[in-house]
Chains A and B, each alone.
Chain A
Amino acid sequence: MAAPGPGEYFSVGSQVSCLTCLGQRLQGEVVAFDYQSKMLTLKCASSSGKPNLYDVVLINLAYVSEVEIISDRTETPPPLASLNVGKLANRARMEKEDKLSQAYAISAGVSLEGQQLFQTIHKTIKDCKWQEKNIIVMDDVVISPPYQVDNCKGKEGSALSHVRKIVEKHFRDVESQKSVQRSQAQQTQKDSALSS
């Protein structure tokens, strides 16, 4: 890391690239930099590709090398919006609970597929929970291992059909993902081969 003056380097909005001591290359827009703690915060494009989301990276410059300022920004950064702390705290609590509840399920021996399915459903329907190894959606639909579309049971209705659609799509996506991963893996192998 260079030894820039507190205010001279990493002006907010600048594009910075750096390499951590663990060999991780990070690049993004400077959001904040604390000179004393040598903490740099970058805002990067979302790893999931979602347009309105970002990946925020907090970097300890003490363990970073090759800091480069790709582009500097001289404009004064936009003002900071006030934050709803209560909302944030609530989010933290919810996230924690979700993680713990999921951990319980995992502890119960739920398969990876089951966990992934649960995650997927949870994204759409918050009202879902683990009951032993069964996923209970909206207290109506029960998805038991191996968590296939046929395993969705409950009163016939829109809820059941909706859940089935989700499950169906989930596995379709999983399949497509696997194929992509495979192709990517192959690609990387080829690349490595080429490079080598």
Chain B
Amino acid sequence: MSMKQAGGNRKPGGGGSGPAAASGAGGGGGAGGRQNLGRGRNSVKGPSSIAFNGVYANMRMVHVLTSVVGTKCELKVKNGVVYEGVFKTYGPECDLVLDAAHRRCLEQGMGPRREDIVESIIFKASDVVVVQFRDVDLNYARKVSSDADNFTDAAVSARLNGEHKEKDLEPWDGGDQHGSDSLESLDTDVSNGWDPNEMFKFNEETYGVKSTYDSSMSSYTVPLERDNSEEFLKREARATQLAEEIESSASYRARVALENDARTEEEKYTAVVRSERDTHSLGSRENKYIPPGQRNKEGMSWGTGRQNSPRLVQSSPSVPSSRPGPHDYSPSSGTDQRVVNGGPPRMSPKTQRTPRTHRMPSARGGMPPGPEFMAHSGDVSTTPPPRSSPSGGTWSSVVSGAHRPRSPRQNGLGGAPGGSSPQTATAPVDPVATPVSAMSPTAASPASNRAATPLTEAKESRVQEPRTASPVANKENVKPAEVSPGPARALSKGPPAMASEHRKQIDNLKEFSQVFRLQPSSSPDSSVFDQMSKPRDQGEKPKELPPDRGAESCGTTAPEAPANEEKASGPTPTAGGTTGSKPSSPGASGPCITAEQKRGPDVTSQAVQTSGPSGKLDGKEVKDDKKDPVPEQVRKSTLNPNAKEFNPRVFCPQPKPATTPTPPRPQGQPSPSIVVPQPPTVYSQTVCFPQMYPLTPVSPGVQKSIIWKPPAMYHVPMPHMTVSQTKPYRAVPSMPQQRPDQHHPQGTPTMMHPATAAGPPIVAPSPAYSAQYFTCSPQQFTSQPLVQQMPHYQSQAQHVFSPVMQGSARMMAPPAHGQPSLVSSSTTQYGEQTHTMYVSPGPMPQPYSHPGAALHPQPSATPTGQQQQQGQHAGSHPAPSPVQHAQHQAAQALHMGNPSQQQMYSALAPTPPSINPGPNPQSPQASFPSAQQAVYIHAQQVQHGYTPSHMAHVPQAHMQSGMVPSHHTTPSHPPMMLMATQPPGGPQPPLPQSALPPIPVSSTAHFSYMAHPPVQPHHQQQL
């Protein structure tokens, strides 16, 4: 009988059952301790209570009695009878239970017979006189708790008790003692392990083993016979050229970066972030063992590596500054950065990165960006710039993607890859390449970049680009302020423009970009400006970065940029002074437009020529494109790509910390899984930034508000945007001039990019976005009608997200979910999407709530992450049937809107994967997706906004949301938009809708985005 049983018996019987049991068992249990009865009753009553009763309250008694459980014992009862048994347990009354007990016979030595043994006997304490446990090992059951065993895995994990909480690592502080310490010696030990010859010698002497190693590897290969023949020289030259081409390719660099990441595994995953004080130790690391693969890069990469390293980041002064900025922005910027970082990671196939980011954010918490961000921020130290740069990189990639898509459609497709489908395909590829390139630039340490890109042109282009970028940023900044004034106008204008023609829009955008530039210089007042100002402080660096970004984005996203610009132009006029912005912008826009028009090969070439960064991006993109559509272009681009790469790196140096870290990720991301699908997203994102600029102008009034908010929402993008923008702003003044001249073609794009990259971008971006959105949305809307388009939209949106938000993965995953529903209710979905879009902007609060959803996307930086995000979205929003959800959600309201967006994402996501190829074909749809993307963006933005939690943030969030959409649209959508939007004529309907939006600024922005009729209803609902 077990204790419990015993207890049970007693309980029922009150006092009687106990004795009965005892007597029954042993017969010796007379009516013993009545004394206990009282207590017994009490205890009986007490059993239910947790409080320990009787003996159970006596720790030492419990301990000793428990220690002897399972031992044989002799128990004497009052009448002298002795029972032997195995001590089983005891009760609170100190009743004892013996198992296999028997009454000891007089006959010694004779064991009990089977029939003498009782299963178990309960002895009441009052009947027991003495119990003897013989030869007990009191330490038998003692858990090993010696110090020696305190740190075994088992001992350590045992204390966790299932709580697997990531520990916050703290840097070890050994005090001030240095020098002779062995620890220090480890850091300063320059020896690089055993020298091979030393090893050979040792083995020979010790073991008599002679190495047969031949450095010529004659056993494996044949030595190259060199001669001076023309043929050989030709071949050699050819080989050299090919090698250069390969090594300058974005994909190559991205892959190499993955392998030769200056950061060690420890730094990446487990290193404790150290303060500046410790940073110097990093320097010592240079002397440390360097993996062979990293040795070449060491020189260059070190800088990046350091920058990348969290420690560096922390140490970097810029970070602090950035934080301050972020305060206003910080939330957004931080988030943005994260997003950016996340974006790349997400983009990249490597899931690890995402995890890191997640961890980093969680652990660091304080740090605005996630782990990646940290690293980036480190680079950033100039936080804003770095962020912007990273974002710029992504943006650029996005842009490039967008451009490609657009190029096909807009450019007349002639230049572009071919059919719409080809475009889509190319777009994806480009995105990948671009992301990589973009990433690489940023990621790559300045030094490395420089080294990699010796092209002076590239540098020049970089310089120009920065300048251009800065202008853009300025413009963007200005735009926000301006935007607020005349959102409605922008909306109205934007949509119509969209409807009318992408080209027109592009032109407008260009104009806007120009205007923006002008404006920026003139009016940095807006909150954005303030934020920008912070960046400005750090300014120059940021500016440079922005330019690069801008250049990149311009080059790659030339098409997008144009589109954005166009969009922006619409808004910008309104924003900038509604009156003259457009006129002023024309100059800038013109260039942009041209670039856009050229988009195809031309654009790339231009980008290359004008700006190294852009050129690089273009080149990379071009390469990708070439592969897909036009080889020639690719070749051209290749040259440019190199230049771009160089530029990025150059720029990166300033942001090095951030850039270096990011680059690898971006590169890795692009190259691996994402390649096709993700790239699009990336592009879309990048595009968004460019668009953002346009948008800001376009939707000065509404969009501005929205856009600003969106920035927050975009957090990820926003940060970049802000950063870059800030820089751009500063640069802007000077930049504008340059832009017009050299950059104009690229300039506009660059402008766009800068805006995206720069923090100020938030404002500018938002305008651009809005513009883009507007344009896109109309197109999208038109396209929306098509069921397929819906999916495309979704997919595109997803892509966009992934780039920006890291949502690409999500997008990917969602697709399956969303697609079904989307397909079924494409129209509804559209409407929903639009609604969602509106919702996010309009209902700031909702956005916040949604932010979570958006956040989810962000978290998943890598593809997997994206998927997760998607999944999350799906899960959170249960968008099993996107359509239903979308509808319902739309109806539900703003909150719903976010969900719907998510749903949309999910829905889109499903298609996206397939869409990548398909979307392009469905160009119209693609444009729609952009709209959807915008929506998604809003959600994200909302989240960002929430993170800021400040009212300002909220506005920003809205802005961001606007921005996001634009981004989305711009990147993937812009192209799409161009293609689809124009044809559908849907834009016009949206315009009307836009008119409806008037209610909230955000709503207006949404409307602009919405452009689609369905959206309007939604807006109304939301409103």
Contact = CB atoms under 8 A, between A and B. Distances in A.
Same complex: yes
Interface string A78-107: 001111110111111111100110111111
A43 B94 contact: no
Interface size class, chain B: 35 or more
Interface string A128-149: 0000000000000000000000
Contact of B136 (A56, A96, A102, A105): A56
B952 interface: no
A100 B86 CA distance: 11
B69 interface: yes
Contact of A107 (B63, B69, B114): B114
Contacts of A105: 111
B39 A36 contact: yes
Interface string B113-138: 11111000000011011111111111
A83 B63 contact: yes
B617 to A, nearest CB: 63
Interface in B93-110: 93-94, 96, 99-100, 102, 109-110
A13 B61 CA distance: 13
Nearest to A41: B64
Interface stretch (A46-54, A151-159, A187-195): A46-54
B24 interface: no
Contacts of A83: 63, 66-67, 141-143
Interface stretch (B71-79, B408-416, B514-522, B1002-1010): B71-79
A43 to B, nearest CB: 7
A107 B63 CA distance: 36
B750 to A, nearest CB: 68
Contacts of B36: 37
A92 B136 contact: no
B137 A103 contact: no
Contacts of B136: 53-56
A48 to B, nearest CB: 5
Nearest to A101: B114
Interface stretch (B51-59, B389-397, B493-501, B727-735): B51-59
A43 B125 contact: no
Nearest to B66: A83
A60 B125 contact: yes
Given A34-B61, A106-B112, A21 B129 contact: yes
A99 B86 contact: yes
B131 A62 contact: no
Interface size class, chain A: 35 or more
A12 interface: yes
Contact of A99 (B59, B67, B76, B100): B100
Interface string A32-45: 11101111010100
A4 interface: no
Nearest to B142: A81
B216 interface: no
A70 interface: no
A29 to B, nearest CB: 11
Contacts of A107: 113-115
Contact of A96 (B39, B99, B145): B99
A116 interface: yes
B141 A87 contact: yes
A31 B60 contact: yes
A98 B889 CA distance: 70
Nearest to B125: A37
A68 B416 CA distance: 105
A128 B54 CA distance: 42
Nearest to A80: B63
A3 interface: no
A50 to B, nearest CB: 6
Contact of B131 (A53, A57, A92): A57
A105 B112 CA distance: 10
A98 B623 CA distance: 80
Contact of A34 (B55, B76, B145): B55
Interface of A: 12, 20-22, 24, 26, 31-34, 36-39, 41, 43, 46-48, 50, 52-60, 62-64, 77, 80-85, 87-96, 99-100, 102-107, 112, 115-116
28 contacts: A20-B76, A24-B76, A31-B64, A34-B58, A34-B61, A37-B36, A56-B133, A58-B128, A58-B131, A59-B131, A60-B125, A63-B129, A80-B60, A82-B142, A83-B66, A83-B142, A85-B141, A87-B140, A87-B141, A89-B70, A90-B70, A91-B69, A91-B70, A91-B141, A92-B69, A92-B86, A103-B117, A116-B109
User: Which 10 A/B pairs are nearest by Cβ-Cβ distance?
Assistant: A91-B70, A92-B70, A32-B60, A107-B114, A58-B131, A32-B61, A37-B94, A56-B133, A103-B114, A95-B86
Interface of B: 33, 35-36, 39, 54-55, 58-61, 63-72, 76, 78, 80, 85-88, 93-94, 96, 99-100, 102, 109-117, 125-126, 128-143, 145
Given A31-B64, A41-B60, 18 more contacts: A32-B58, A34-B61, A37-B39, A43-B64, A54-B136, A54-B138, A55-B133, A55-B134, A60-B129, A88-B66, A88-B140, A90-B70, A92-B70, A92-B86, A99-B117, A103-B100, A105-B111, A116-B109
